[in-house]
Chains A and B, each alone.
Chain A
Amino acid sequence: MAILDNDGNRILAKYYDKNVFPTSKEQKTFEKNLFSKTHRANAEIIMLDGLTCVYRSNVDLFFYVMGSSHENELILMSVLNCLYDSVSQILRKNVEKRAVLDSLDIVMLAMDEICDGGIILDADASSVVQRVALRTDDIPLGEQTVAQVLQSAKEQLKWSLLK
């Protein structure tokens, strides 16, 4: 699973099989290769190095999901869709590099919720987002104190309810 930018550089990538690309050098070579094959054609699916890769792009981002060539392509597709949709929901629609980097922590958590050690953990974008989008909006400087007060009040209320 990988997210690359429009120069083919890695923003986030996760490799689940230590046997396929054991070193980060091999991984990056593969990513460059993959990017050069896919960045112009909007073809959704490609075979590369014996792997089935499905991909999707938006503005300056490329999303990839790779799997063995014996894998059901539609299952890979469902993972890709989930990744893309969750990122887009987390970023509230403007799916671009800038926004991903700003919410990098949340996107990392989302990737972690989608796939665990190569096993699909969840393929439903809305439930993934529900599990990770915990932060209230980034707060502008001026309103911060008010919002903080509200937040702490909310938390106190929650804790008292839980007891």
Chain B
Amino acid sequence: MIAFKRDKKEEEDGGGNPFQNLEKTTVLQEARTFNNTPVNPRKCAHILTKILYLLNQGEQLGTMEATEAFFAMTKLFQSRDVILRRLVYLGIKELSSLAEDVIIVTSSLTKDMTGKEDLYRAAAIRALCTITDGSMLAAIERYMKQAIVDRSPAVSSAALVSSLHLTSVSGDVARRWANEAQEALNSSNVMVQYHALGVLYQARKTDKHAVIKLVAKLMKTSPKSPYAACMLIRMAYKLLDEVDEGEELIGFIESCLRHKSEMVVYEAAHALVNLGRSGAREIGPAISVLQLFCGSPKPALRFAAVRTLNKVAMSHPAAVTACNLDLENLITDSNRSIATLAITTLLKTGAESSVDR
């Protein structure tokens, strides 16, 4: 341990990047120390970090190499070190597509996911779901349903997001777990709410009436989470494309223009101006919000606003004319993308008089 510490120190004193000249083969050799008992958490964590770093740098591992590293890594489950355990989860996820027989860790992960430590559980769920295939799904279903309605937001989110990923394994996962997701939707945690809505939408995506019902219900209690609100706006926007009536939906999106999160306000304005059916009256309020954003100190917000205005200027040049003054200010913006967008927008809306300026 001490010798290792010193090694590391020396490396650091040498300056430069301690991970710079890593050789794949050397690192994989080092991975053999994973087999030693008792496990030295700090050393093993360092080696595992090296492996993850190599993978991240785009180093290709052969199936044999990956499998060998994977199996060595499974030995680390003996250790109780928190960081090491978390790195192992990360390693499982990274190697799951490369190595063979990765399902060997299923039982270890299931144990962690039902254990006491919340920090393990969330991460274990996500790792488990990356190695799960269609045949194993039934075995973990019960745990997943429990995790979705778990008290800890981290666990709940992890389970919800994982079930979204699992849709690629089995198409009806989301539908089978919809009841639990429905319950999670009432969570006070903003992320859980967002993820739950994602799962519910996934479950009902193919059924237009079910989506309408879901949206109608949520419109009344406008979600607290800005992410969920953005998603709801997108769902409403998509519905408006498909159904004939939709006064309520438009009304809802308009009401989102007064949301306290800029993210939602922009999403709503963006949706309103892009609706094929809206006339000058509908986009009026949205345009004025975008106009306000043009003066924002945040470049991203200015960029978003100008880009949207640029698009609207094609269909409703008259409506955008009101923003001309603000757009002219943006011509000299320090961000070149913003300036360019402002100029092209002005070219669409401007009259001869303003071109001179």
Q: Contact check: which of B86, B165, B195 meets A109 at CB < 8 Å?
A: B86
Say if the beta carbon of B102 comes within 8 Å of chain A.
no
Residue of A whose beta carbon sits closest to that of B48: A105
CB pair A108 B303 closer than 8 Å = no
Nearest CB in chain B: distance from A30 CB, A:
12
CB pair A121 B337 closer than 8 Å = no
Nearest CB in chain B: distance from A35 CB, A:
16
Say if the beta carbon of A45 comes within 8 Å of chain B.
yes
Say if the beta carbon of B216 comes within 8 Å of chain A.
no
Say if the beta carbon of B344 comes within 8 Å of chain A.
no
Residue of B whose beta carbon sits closest to that of A140: B5
A-B contacts, CB under 8 A, total: 133
Nearest CB in chain B: distance from A153 CB, A:
15
Give the contact stretch, choosing among B63-71, B156-164, B250-258: B156-164
Say if the beta carbon of A54 comes within 8 Å of chain B.
yes
Give the contacts of A118-145 with B (CB-CB under 8 A). 119-124, 127, 131-132, 134-135, 141, 144
CB pair A141 B5 closer than 8 Å = yes
Say yes or no: A134-B119 contact (C-beta < 8 A), given A12-B56, A73-B303.
Answer: yes
Say yes or no: A78-B58 contact (C-beta < 8 A), given A45-B335, A119-B164.
Answer: no
Contacts of A119 in B (CB 8 A): 161, 164-165, 195, 198
Alpha-carbon gap, A99 to B263, bound state (A): 32
- Bits for A27-50, please: 1 = Cβ < 8 Å to B, else 0: 110000000000001111111000
CB pair B49 A104 closer than 8 Å = yes
Nearest CB in chain A: distance from B119 CB, A:
6
Nearest CB in chain A: distance from B312 CB, A:
15
Residue of A whose beta carbon sits closest to that of B20: A101
- Bits for B97-119, please: 1 = Cβ < 8 Å to A, else 0: 00000000000000000001001
Nearest CB in chain B: distance from A108 CB, A:
6
Identify whether the interface residues of B are mostly helix, strand, loop, or mixed.
Answer: helix
Contacts of B119 in A (CB 8 A): 131, 134
Contacts of A123 in B (CB 8 A): 191, 227
Interface residues on A, range: 35 or more
Say if the beta carbon of B83 comes within 8 Å of chain A.
yes
CB pair A43 B334 closer than 8 Å = yes
CB pair B157 A121 closer than 8 Å = yes
Residue of A whose beta carbon sits closest to that of B305: A73
Give the contacts of B161-218 with A (CB-CB under 8 A). 161-162, 164-165, 191, 194-195, 198
Contacts of B165 in A (CB 8 A): 116-117, 119
Say yes or no: A13-B337 contact (C-beta < 8 A), given A117-B165, A123-B191.
Answer: no
Say if the beta carbon of A87 comes within 8 Å of chain B.
no
Say if the beta carbon of A77 comes within 8 Å of chain B.
yes
Alpha-carbon gap, A97 to B157, bound state (A): 31
Contacts of A144 in B (CB 8 A): 2, 5
Alpha-carbon gap, A22 to B182, bound state (A): 36
Contacts of B230 in A (CB 8 A): 72, 75
Alpha-carbon gap, A134 to B270, bound state (A): 41
Residue of A whose beta carbon sits closest to that of B160: A119
Alpha-carbon gap, A24 to B58, bound state (A): 5
Given contacts A72-B263, A73-B301, A117-B161, 16 further A-B contacts (CB under 8 A): A41-B335, A43-B334, A43-B338, A45-B300, A45-B337, A75-B263, A97-B17, A101-B19, A105-B52, A108-B49, A108-B90, A109-B83, A109-B87, A112-B123, A132-B86, A144-B2
List B residues at the A interface (Cβ < 8 Å): 2, 5, 12, 17-19, 45-46, 48-49, 52-53, 56-58, 60, 82-83, 86-87, 90, 93, 116, 119, 122-123, 126, 154, 157-158, 161-162, 164-165, 191, 194-195, 198, 227, 230, 262-263, 266-267, 270, 298-301, 303-304, 307, 334-338
A-B CB proximity, top 10 nearest? A24-B58, A43-B335, A44-B299, A73-B304, A74-B263, A105-B49, A134-B82, A77-B300, A45-B303, A45-B300
